[in-house]
Structure formats: structure tokens, C-alpha cells
């Protein structure tokens, strides 16, 4: 829709009626550069991709043509008639909205099965599979899920992007990171395939019964053979972009057996060792010693509760500190958990520490096992006597004042009284009196500077664009490996540098305009050429995946160009 000020902002869809098994493309197009774009809610659709941003800037017979597009790829959830709401954009301080668009979703339509159709060839030569280590685990037993994308020798995987990660409801989960996607060789359905592991996680079911693992969705690019041939007679390849989803997987979680279940069982499942240590074992009253309860082994270490530790009231116990040294792999968690107790005895004597029990369910034998700590005695050699307690200390004791229990703490201070001098007519008095008068000229200068700076709208805008450029450059560095995000951020960084240094709106930054202004500013021809080549790479990257080496090289070129442009 064209507003009175010439700004156009509209929503276009690839089709207004489609089958539930088809995809929908929605484009939000504007003819002026805007900020703070807010898309509508696509709650009746699955978001397969987007937003993808593209900019077109051209001059034809002296007339400028500019457009900026945000594209989304959707698949419907249900049949029916739905409305895609309004998107908003801010242009020069004014907010513009698109018109709502009605979409009708019908029953599934029959897909073409032409054996030469690239879409059909791609569907027949790839498969996304979720592989489970165990579909019938016990409660709190580790289950690994590995998502593999199988691709036959007839096609070539050229790009991959994760659209939707599973939420793993009713599981404690941890994603196992993949540093680099590597193509491996394997077999699927008795057929040789190349495959790549795209995601992996270890799960611990927290609920009994049937649980469903949500699917993983990918956006992939495949190069498939076409019917066209090159000059040497070989078949040319055509790039096909597909959205593929792994089927949901269901597991049946078994309850832990009730037979032989200890009364104080706290949910530990796996194979464990247990120990209790104390240090030092001989000390004076008022000094502290450490008690450590340690569970080590393989199982649900991060989820288990450590056994309770009860001590006599004559021993003061502080809040324990839990320390975890745990590694998580596809086979589950392994390592150790330690509870550190700080204990301070108030009286002398011998204190036997109570034996502590740790119970767990052993997956190997499928039975409950109980481990007990060794008996430990703590000897307090000096301090007051607790006449009301039973102790194994020697009878040769002399009553001592309870005040000596705190002999290790300082109870005397070195505080001295403060003599207050006469403030009136003192140096401090005159300093506080004259300081505001001395600061007044400085305040007026600062205020004048701020007024002048706020009036410099162009300068403020230029500084803002320069800051945006550095932010986008940093964002590009963080997106190395993700071709789409990397080149979008890199393009934004370059355009904001140009806006900052040339002090022109982004709508004027086409190839001819950039060349003309940079030439007038006596910029090096090599710098102008490098800039145009890099902007062209950013444009091509929307349609063609790029290798990591190319991205690293383009990042270094962009950083060098920004330094050169800063000298203008």
C-alpha cells in the first residue's frame, strides 16, 4: 500500500490457497529503508525459514529504484482459512503497517512423481533419522538420541541449517555439541549412504510410561543431477532446497521395581561407589574439621540427592557445599559429586561420626544396592568439658570456663575516640562553601557542549551508524560457518560504515552512487574495487552456500576495508 508520503510497505504471498502438505512463502516489501521491523504472529504455521533479508538498489535512466524484502517460509499446521496479521516497520520516525492476508489451507495435494523432477529425486535420495540407544529404559536411565541425515551417492549435500530443535519434554536433557559436521560412510535400509550427524543429546526420562521425543527439522540444500549436459557430455547438477523432518520417536519408560526398594532411596540409578572422609581427625575445641561425602561412578549424578548426614548437637555443622566433577557423553554422565561439611566441636572428647548409607538402583544387576561409609572417630584434645554428654575421653579433666570456647576469636578492639574539631571557619568549611561557585563555569561549558552536540543531528547519526557497523562486524565473526547469517551481518556492517562516512541515506548507496562519492573523496581505486567485490559476494551468498575458508577471507577483507574507509 502506497502512503501519501510515497512510502510503500506491503505483504505478498506465493499463493493464497495451498494444500496442507505444501509450503508458503511470505514477503514483506518496502520501497524505503526502515528499522524496527516486527513480523506478525505465524501461530497457525510452522516456521521453516526466515527472516531472509534482501535489498535491491538500482538506477535506470536517472531514476532510483529501491526495495527491501523480509521473506519467511511456512508450512500450515491445520486445514481451514487463516489470516496472516499485520507487520510493522519504522521509516523516518513513522510507523507503517501491511494489510492482513487471508490464506486457505485445503487437504493434501498430490505431489508430482516425475522421476526426472529435481524435488522428487531429492526426496528419494535423502533421509533424516533419529537413532535411540534404548527404547525401553528405566526411570532415570540414560538414553542417547542421535540425528543422522543420510544422503545417497546420487546427490550432494551442499548446505544445512537446523530449523527447530526438539524440546525434550519430560526428560532431563543435555545437548552434546558437535564441533564440525563430518560426512561419514554407512548403511541405511541395506543401502550404502553418506551420512552426517547433525545433532545428538543424552536424555534421562523423568516420568514413567510412554514418552514422545519431538522431531528435529532441517533446511538443507542438495545438488541433484538434471537432464541438461555440459559441453563434455556430463550431466549438470541443480540445487534443490528442502525442509526435512525426522519422525517422532516413542519410548516406553519402566518404573523402578518396588521389591527390595530401600526406605531412604533417593532416585540414584547407575553404578556407583561411596565414601566418607574427615580431616583432621585430631584438633582442639573451637577449631574446624572437614567431612566429605563422595559419590562417584556412572549414572544420573546431577539428579541424585546425597545421603543425609546427622551429627550430635555438641558439634556445630555449617551449610554443606556441593561440588560436581561430571562429564556428559552419549553414554551418560560419569564423574563424582562431593558434599563438603564444615564441623566445629564445642567440647573436648571423642566423637564417633555416624555411619552413612547410600542406596542406588544398579542397572547391571537390576537390583537395589546399599553402600556404607567406614567408621570414623574425631578426637578433640583441648577445650571445655560437656558434663551432660557421654564421652570416651579420659577422666583426667578439669572444669574450664565456657568462655574459652571462643578463645580463638578476638574479643578486644583497638578503637579510639574521635575528637571532633571545630568545623566553622575551618579549611573544610571554606572548601565546601566555595566549591559550587568554582564548578559553575564548568557546568555552563558542559551544558553548552551538550546543546551543540544535540543540535548536530548528522554527527549523532553518523556516530550511531559507525557503532552499528562495528556491532555487525562482531556479529559476522560470531556467525562464521553459517553462510547466511555471516554475509547478512557483513553486508550490514559495510553499508553502515558507508552511511557513517559518506553521510548519505542507505537508499542512495547503489554501486554507481558509491563509486561516484568515493571517487570524489579521492578514495583509492583498489579500495573501491575491493568494496564492490565484497558487496557482490554478500549478494551472491543469499543463493549460493559458501565455504568456511571463503568466509574467513571475506571477513579479513571487510575488516581491512573498514579501516581504509575510516580514513576518508
Q: At what angle do helices 525-540 and 483-502 cross, to 10 degrees?
A: 140
C-alpha cell at 547: 565455504
The whole-angstrom separation of Cα 173 and Cα 375 is 38
Q: What is the pLDDT of residue 402?
A: 43
Q: Do 565 and 497 touch, CB atoms closer than 8 A? A: yes
d(CA 387, CA 399): 9
Model confidence over 487-505: pLDDT tens digits? 888 888 887 877 776 666 6
pLDDT value of residue 120: 77
Query: What CATH number is given for 269-406 in this structure?
Result: 2.60.40
Closest CA to 143 of 95, 212, 78, 196: 212
* Cβ atoms of residues 487 and 548 within 8 Å: no
User: Between the ranges 46-60, 305-319, 422-436, 455-469, where is the mean pLDDT highest?
Assistant: 305-319
Whether the predicted pLDDT of 353 surpasses 70: yes
Contact predicate 75/48, CB 8 Å: yes
Alpha-carbon distance of 243 to 222, in angstroms, equals 11
Mean pLDDT of 291-299: 95
Q: Is the pLDDT of residue 400 over 60?
A: no
Omega of the bond leading into 471 within 30 degrees of 0 (cis): no
Whether pLDDT at 102 is above 50: yes
Lowest mean pLDDT across 77-81, 186-190, 544-548: 544-548
Q: Is the pLDDT of residue 394 over 50?
A: no
- Give the count of beta carbons closer than 10 Å to the beta carbon of residue 330: 14
Q: What is the pLDDT of residue 356?
A: 93
Single out the residue of 474, 463, 537, 529 nearest to residue 501, CA to CA. Answer: 463
Question: How far apart (Å, rounded) are the C-alpha atoms in residues 211 and 172?
Answer: 13
Q: Which range has the top average pLDDT, 7-16, 64-73, 493-502?
A: 7-16
> What is the DSSP track for 197-210?
EEEEEEEEE-SSEE
Task: Tell me what the pLDDT averaged over the chain comes to.
Answer: 81
- What are the CA-CA distances from residue 149 to residues 188, 195, 200, 217, 321 (Å)? 10, 5, 12, 11, 44
Asked if residue 337 lies in contact with residue 326, where contact means CB atoms within 8 angstroms, the answer is: yes
Q: Which three cell numbers stand for residue 235?
A: 550431466
Residues ≥6 apart with Cβ < 8 Å to 53: 68, 69, 70, 71, 488
Measure the CA–CA gap between 339 and 453, rounded to whole angstroms: 59
pLDDT at 397: 38
Cα 151 off chain centre by: 28
Q: How far is CA 387 from CA 348, 381, 390, 402, in A?
A: 11, 16, 8, 12
| pLDDT score, position 92 | 85
Give the pLDDT band of residue 60 (cuts 50, 70, 90): low
Give the HSE-up count for residue 344: Cα atoms under 13 Å, Cβ half-sphere: 9
Residue 160 has pLDDT above 60, yes or no: yes
| 538 has pLDDT over 80 | no
Q: 344 falls in which pLDDT band (50, 70, 90)?
A: very high
- Beta bridge pairs of residue 102: 83
pLDDT at 399: 39
pLDDT at residue 238 in the model: 83
Residue 554: pLDDT band by 50, 70, 90 thresholds? confident
Query: Which DSSP string do the residues of 62-81 spell out, in sequence order?
Result: TEEEEEEEEEEEEEESSSEE
- For 171-204, the pLDDT digits (tens) are 999 999 988 888 899 988 878 899 999 999 999 9
pLDDT of residue 418: 59
Collect contacts of 526-535 with beta carbons under 8 A, ≥24 apart. 527/561, 527/564, 527/565, 530/557, 530/561, 531/494, 531/561, 531/565, 534/490, 534/494, 534/558, 534/561, 535/491, 535/494, 535/511
**pLDDT higher at 15 or 483:** 15
Q: Can you give the pLDDT at residue 138?
A: 96
pLDDT tens string 232-257: 555 567 888 888 888 888 999 999 99
Q: Can you say how many angstroms the Cα of residue 261 is from the centroid of all Cα atoms in its chain? A: 40
CA distance 238 to 70: 25
* The pLDDT of residue 274 is above 70: yes
Q: What is the CATH number of domain 457-565?
A: 1.20.120.330
Model confidence band, residue 300 (pLDDT cutoffs 50, 70, 90) = very high
For the chain, percent of residues with pLDDT exceeding 70: 81
Supply 327's cell numbers: 562429564
Confidence of residue 281 (pLDDT cuts 50, 70, 90): very high
Determine the pLDDT at residue 462. Answer: 53
What gap in Å lies between CA 154 and CA 116, rounded to an integer? Answer: 13
10 HSE (CA, 13 A, CB side): 10
Rounded to whole angstroms, how far apart are CA atoms 153 and 56? Answer: 38
Taking the C-alpha atoms of residue 421 and residue 406, their distance in angstroms, rounded to an integer, is 39
Q: Please enumerate in sequence order all residues whose Cβ is within 8 A of that of 213, keeping only pairs 6 or more positions apart, or say none.
A: 130, 132, 145, 166, 168, 171, 203, 248, 249, 250, 251
Asked if residues 192 and 153 have their Cβ atoms less than 8 Å apart, the reply is: yes
Confidence at residue 560, expressed as pLDDT on a 0 to 100 scale: 81
Q: Does position 271 have pLDDT exceeding 90, yes or no?
A: yes
Look at strands 171-175 and 191-205 and give their pairing. Answer: antiparallel
Question: Is 58 or 333 the better-scoring residue by pLDDT?
Answer: 333
Burial class (CB in 10 A: 0-12, 13-18, 19+), 164: middle
pLDDT in tens, 124-152: 888 999 999 999 999 999 999 999 999 98
CATH architecture of the domain with residue range 9-106: Sandwich (2.60)
Amino acid at each position: 500500500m502506497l502512503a501519501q508520503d510515497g512510502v510503500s510497505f506491503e505483504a505478498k504471498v506465493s499463493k493464497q490457497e495451498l494444500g496442507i502438505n505444501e509450503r508458503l512463502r511470505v514477503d514483506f516489501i518496502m520501497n524505503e529503508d526502515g528499522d524496527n521491523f516486527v513480523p506478525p504472529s505465524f501461530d497457525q504455521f510452522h516456521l521453516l525459514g526466515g527472516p531472509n533479508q534482501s535489498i535491491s538498489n538500482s538506477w535506470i535512466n536517472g531514476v532510483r529504484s529501491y526495495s527491501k524484502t523480509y521473506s519467511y517460509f511456512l508450512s500450515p499446521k491445520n486445514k481451514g482459512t487463516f489470516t496472516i496479521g499485520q507487520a510493522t516497520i519504522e521509516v523516518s520516525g513513522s510507523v507503517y503497517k501491511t494489510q492482513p492476508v487471508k490464506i486457505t489451507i485445503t487437504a493434501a495435494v498430490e505431489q508430482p512423481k516425475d522421476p526426472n523432477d529435481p524435488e522428487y529425486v531429492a526426496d528419494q535420495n535423502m533421509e533424516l533419522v533419529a537413532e535411540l540407544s534404548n527404547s525401553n529404559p528405566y526411570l532415570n536411565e540414560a538414553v542417547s538420541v542421535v540425528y543422522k541425515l543420510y544422503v545417497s551417492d546420487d546427490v550432494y549435500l551442499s548446505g544445512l541449517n537446523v530449523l527447530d530443535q526438539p524440546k525434550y519434554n519430560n526428560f532431563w536433557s543435555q545437548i552434546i555439541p558437535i564441533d564440525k559436521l563430518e560426512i561419514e560412510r554407512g548403511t541405511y535400509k541395506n543401502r550404502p549412504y553418506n551420512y552426517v550427524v547433525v545433532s545428538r543429546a543424552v536424555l534421562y526420562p523423568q516420568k514413567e510410561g510412554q514418552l514422545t521425543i519431538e522431531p528435529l527439522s532441517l533446511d538443507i540444500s542438495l545438488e541433484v543431477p538434471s537432464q541438461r549436459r555440459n559441453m563434455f557430455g556430463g550431466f549438470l547438477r541443480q540445487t534443490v532446497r528442502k525442509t526435512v523432518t525426522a519422525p517422532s520417536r516413542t519410548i516406553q519408560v519402566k518404573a523402578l521395581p518396588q521389591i527390595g526398594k530401600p526406605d531412604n532411596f533417593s532416585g540414584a540409578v547407575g553404578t556407583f561407589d561411596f565414601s566418607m572422609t574427615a580431616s583432621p581427625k585430631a584438633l582442639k575445641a573451637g577449631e574446624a574439621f572437614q567431612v566429605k561425602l563422595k559419590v562417584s561412578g556412572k549414572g544420573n549424578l546431577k539428579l541424585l540427592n546425597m545421603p543425609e548426614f546427622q551429627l550430635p548437637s555438641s558439634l556445630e555443622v555449617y551449610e554443606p557445599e556441593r561440588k560436581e566433577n561430571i562429564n556428559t557423553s552419549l553414554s551418560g554422565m560419569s564423574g563424582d559429586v562431593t558434599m563438603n561439611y564444615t564441623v566445629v566441636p564445642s567440647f573436648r572428647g571423642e566423637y564417633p561420626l555416624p555411619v552413612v548409607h547410600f542406596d542406588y538402583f544398579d542397572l547391571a544387576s537390576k537390583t537395589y544396592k546399599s553402600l556404607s561409609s567406614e567408621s570414623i572417630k574425631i578426637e578433640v584434645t583441648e577445650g571445655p568439658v560437656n558434663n551432660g554428654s557421654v564421652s570416651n575421653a579420659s577422666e583426667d579433666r578439669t572444669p574450664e570456663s565456657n568462655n574459652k570456647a571462643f578463645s580463638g576469636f578476638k574479643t578486644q578492639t583497638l578503637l579510639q575516640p574521635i575528637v571532633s574539631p571545630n568545623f566553622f571557619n575551618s579549611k573544610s568549611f571554606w572548601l565546601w562553601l566555595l566549591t559550587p561557585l568554582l564548578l559553575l563555569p564548568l557546568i555552563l561549558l558542559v551544558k553548552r557542549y551538550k546543546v551543540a552536540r544535540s543540535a548536530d543531528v548528522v554527527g549523532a547519526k553518523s556516530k550511531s551508524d559507525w557503532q552499528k557497523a562495528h556491532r555487525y562486524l562482531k556479529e559476522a565473526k560470531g556467525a562464521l560457518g553459517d553462510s547466511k547469517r555471516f554475509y547478512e551481518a557483513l553486508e550490514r556492517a559495510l553499508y553502515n560504515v558507508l552511511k557513517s562516512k559518506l553521510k548519505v541515506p542507505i537508499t542512495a548507496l547503489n554501486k554507481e552512487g558509491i563509486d561516484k562519492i568515493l571517487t570524489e573523496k579521492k578514495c583509492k581505486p583498489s579500495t573501491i574495487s575491493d568494496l564492490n567485490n565484497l558487496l557482490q559476494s554478500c549478494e551472491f551468498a543469499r543463493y549460493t552456500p559458501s565455504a568456511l575458508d571463503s568466509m574467513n577471507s571475506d571477513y579479513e577483507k571487510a575488516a581491512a576495508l573498514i579501516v581504509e574507509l575510516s580514513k576518508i
